[in-house]
A and B are shown apart, each in its own frame.
Chain A
Amino acid sequence: MKGFLLGLAFFFFFTPNALAQTMEPVATEEAEATLSGEPAAVPRQDFTRPTEETRGPLEEILYEQELGPVWPANPVKYAIRSSVAAGVPPNTIVLLLLLPVVAAIIAAARHTIGLRGFGIFLPAALSVVFLAVGPILGIGLFLLIVFVSTYARIILRRAKIKLQYLPRMALILWAVVVGVLLLLFLAPVINAPELTNVSIFPVLILVLLAEDFSKVQLGKSARTAVAQATETMILSLISYVFLTLETAQAFALTHPELLLLLVALFNLLIGKYVGLRFIEYWRFRKLIKS
């Protein structure tokens, strides 16, 4: 699963990492070079990156909790404490603990409501993208990428340029990159602090989404593709809201064992549900009424 691997890479790179560190100065230099004279706007807090303070709010929560003996109820809590003490950022641990919950929410939405989205990985990854760059910029970037890739496709077809599949996809990616670069170059003009803070990985995830979008558009219809993309957006917005809930974060940190167990049970339950989905009640309403 390339999606899964990319996801792993994604998480890996958001934690303190050599590549992520080297990528950052490039972006800030760019911003400074063009923004000379003006006071730099404060970038929004990126939850996917470790906080700078010596003791963040999450660590406060962690150390406020009083723990009993390690076994049977507290092994994960102790493990979290020692790894945080060793320097693992608590943000990363909270995100990792909440990710299965997000996946369960997405699975449940599919099987009880009927919201389809593009699989389970993309909405989950997208919610983390929203967390990283903010929902407004996230949706904006997505719309831009879909727009550019669809238009690149149409232009290629209109111009009767016939290419093989992979070179064609590579050319579309080229167009997407140019589009995103243009947007980044606009950052000083529209003075959006979020833009200066965009890293490569949210963009990559969004490009993946755009590829799925255009595949559905070609295979089924534009209508289905738009519907599915909208449902993906709804799912990831719900997941995003959930990820930002402070109570959820605190609960994950203070009751990791309970959380993991509950999520596993919930998945087992949802997996056995064979009733109609909410959307099917609507789809078959004329049959049910008659």
Chain B
Amino acid sequence: MKTSNLLGLNARTQEYSYRYNKAKGRRIASSKLYTKKTLAKSGIPVPESYAKFTKPRSILNFDWTALPGSFVIKPNTGLGGEGIIVVKKRARGREGWITTKKSFVTAPDFQLHVLDILEGAHSLRNEPGVAFVEEYIARHKAFRRYSYRGTPDIRVIVFNKVPVMAMLRLPTKESGGRANLHQGAIGVGIDIATGITTHAVYHGKYIKYKPGTKRKLHGIKIPFWTKILRTSVEAQQASALGFVSVDFLLHPEKGPMVLELNYQPGLQIQLANRAGLKKRLERVEDLVVRDADHGVNIAKALFMAHFADRVRAKEGVRTISTFEEIKIKGTKRGQRKKVIAKVDTGAWRTSISEGLARELGLLEPANVLWTKQVKSALGQEERPVIGLTFWMAGRKVITPASVAKRMALKYQVIIGRKNLKGFLVSPEVKK
């Protein structure tokens, strides 16, 4: 990979975090309560708040037993999961609670912790802080076997209304239930197009299995994937931040909830995805994105991981012929159409004839990713580029495809080099 594809800390801060994020958005992101308030106003699901403490007086008479059995105490500011107590249940037979770290705590412990927060132990420059209590979100069953005690979170980086990169963060024993990579959590890259995990990074090194087990970390399917992507774009729009990472928790029943926004996301996500963030950011920088759905469609078409990254490369390289039958997905539910496509290693991008695209409903505005200027015999022309999903030799491919008006109409689809990774093209023509 070229180093110019990678985003470094200098470029992140200067070219993205500060250029695209206004002071108001940054203020929203640096306060967890303000984030929650802003997002909830736009109808984005966030964990429910039970109580908020701004003055030491309010804490003294607070009745902790009136809370549900499990809850989380947090400082309003504070990075990297600092100063958070996660209470899992009431202790049996004793006056107190059990935390996710399996230690026993009592109401005076909570009081002291909240007073610490108010005193500024977890805020920048020791300014007086604010503490709050919110709903505890249990682990979704999809992650039950992968994380240690704490709840894993999903981070999506959004830029210009397009989700550009995503990562699953799994707490380990070492990270003490916290989903922070610096504290020893595992980062697992997620394929934007399918929501399937790809590579895992632990302390800056690639690992295949969860440490100490034989449990594979790639190939995990994230539930509610499209909803997560759409919500991440909505959260970006609501917060007025141009370049932001949105952290999600998966509620076992209610689905994805936004936990936090961060306008200076860490860059390890590039390792976990084996992809450069800068290249992706530059790719979407100038696109005109209408709404969340449009942004998600663009992301899925642009950033699909290589097949070999998503699933084990056991089956190896597939051989296809120059004229290969493919199955195209239409916009109506369950609509599929089989056509013979021409595999053209001389073309870069895949293209589809206008007639076929219209027949399958692919020219609907939500599916048009962007338009491009084309010079032809008739002069300048605008042609749409659409999101196309098809199956070829048993593999699903999601890609941008240009719509061609005047093709030699023998083949309505031409598959370009861009989508031929992991395939061998046999020149023999089957009769």
Contact in complex: B80, A219 (CB < 8 Å) = yes
Give Cα distance in the complex from A276 to B276, angstroms. 12
A221 is contacted by which of B1, B184, B204, B206 (Cβ under 8 Å)?
Answer: B184
Let me know if B116 and A276 touch, CB within 8 A. Answer: no
B120 and A276 contact, CB distance less than 8 A? no
Residues in chain B near residue A219, CB distance under 8 A: 78-80, 82-83, 122
> Size of chain B's interface in residues, with CB distance under 8 A?
34
CA separation between A7 and B276, bound complex, in Å? Answer: 41
The answer to whether A111 and B121 touch (CB under 8 A), given A218-B82, A220-B80, is no
CB contact list, A154-190 vs B, under 8 A: 162, 164-166
A55 within 8 A of B: no
Known: A218-B82, A274-B14, A275-B10. A166 touches B3 (CB 8 A): no
Give chain B residues whose Cβ lies under 8 Å from the Cβ of A166: 119
Q: Are A284 and B271 CB-contacts (below 8 A) given A165-B115, A221-B182, A276-B3?
A: yes
Q: Is A224 an interface residue (CB 8 A)?
A: yes
- Given the known A-B contacts A286-B206, A290-B1, are A276 and B8 also in contact in the complex, defined by CB atoms under 8 Å? yes
Q: Mark A241-284, 1 if CB is under 8 A from B, else 0.
A: 00000000000000000000000000000001111110011011
Q: Does A33 contact B (CB under 8 A)?
A: no
A290 to B15, CA, bound (A): 26
User: B119, A164: Cβ atoms under 8 Å?
Assistant: yes
Contacts of A218 in B (CB 8 A): 82
- In the assembled complex, the CB of B130 is this many whole angstroms from the nearest CB of chain A, namely 15
Residues of chain B in range 57-106 having any CB-CB distance to chain A below 8 Å: 78-80, 82-83
Q: Is the CB of A164 within 8 A of B116?
A: yes
Known: A162-B109, A165-B115. A288 touches B1 (CB 8 A): yes
Picked from A111, A165, A272, A277, the residue with its CB within 8 Å of the CB of B119 is A165
Shortest B259–chain A CB gap in Å is 18
Bound: A272/B10 CA distance, A = 9
Closest to B79 in A: A219
Name A220's contact: one of B10, B15, B182 (CB within 8 Å).
Answer: B182
A42 adjacent to chain B (CB < 8 Å): no
| Total A-B pairs, Cβ < 8 A | 72
**B5 closest partner in A (C-beta):** A287
> Does B21 sit within 8 A of A, measured CB to CB?
no
Q: Closest CB-CB distance, B61 to chain A, in whole Å?
A: 18
Q: Which B residues are CB-close (under 8 A) to A276?
A: 3, 6, 8, 10-11
Q: Complex formed: what's the CA distance from A284 to B271 in Å?
A: 7
Contact with A along B257-293 (1 / 0, CB 8 A): 0000000000100110010100000000000000000
B15 touches A274 (CB 8 A): yes
A164 touches which of B3, B112, B206, B274 (Cβ 8 Å): B112
Interface membership of B183, Cβ < 8 A: yes
The reply on B9 being an interface residue by CB < 8 A is: yes
Query: Chain A residues with Cβ under 8 A from B15's Cβ?
Result: 274
Kindly provide the distance from the CB of B12 to the nearest chain A CB, expressed in whole angstroms: 9
Chain A residues contacting B9 (CB-CB under 8 Å) are 114, 277, 280
Q: A219-B82, A286-B271, A290-B274 are in contact. Are A274 and B10 (CB under 8 A)?
A: yes
Measured between alpha carbons, how far is A274 from B274 in the docked complex, in Å? 21
A277 x B3 contact (CB < 8 A): no
CA distance A220 to B185 in the complex (A): 12
- Which residue of chain B is the closest to A114 with respect to CB atoms? B9
Among B6, B8, B15, B78, max chain A CB count under 10 A is at B8
Task: Known A-B contacts: A164-B119, A220-B183, A221-B184. Give 15 more (CB < 8 A).
Answer: A162-B108, A219-B78, A219-B82, A219-B122, A220-B182, A221-B183, A274-B10, A276-B11, A281-B3, A284-B270, A284-B271, A287-B6, A287-B276, A288-B1, A288-B6
Which residues of B pack against A, CB within 8 Å?
Answer: 1, 3, 6, 8-11, 14-15, 78-80, 82-83, 108-109, 112, 115-116, 119-122, 180, 182-184, 204, 206, 267, 270-271, 274, 276
5 A-B contact pairs sorted by A residue (CB < 8 Å): A224-B182, A274-B11, A284-B6, A287-B270, A287-B276
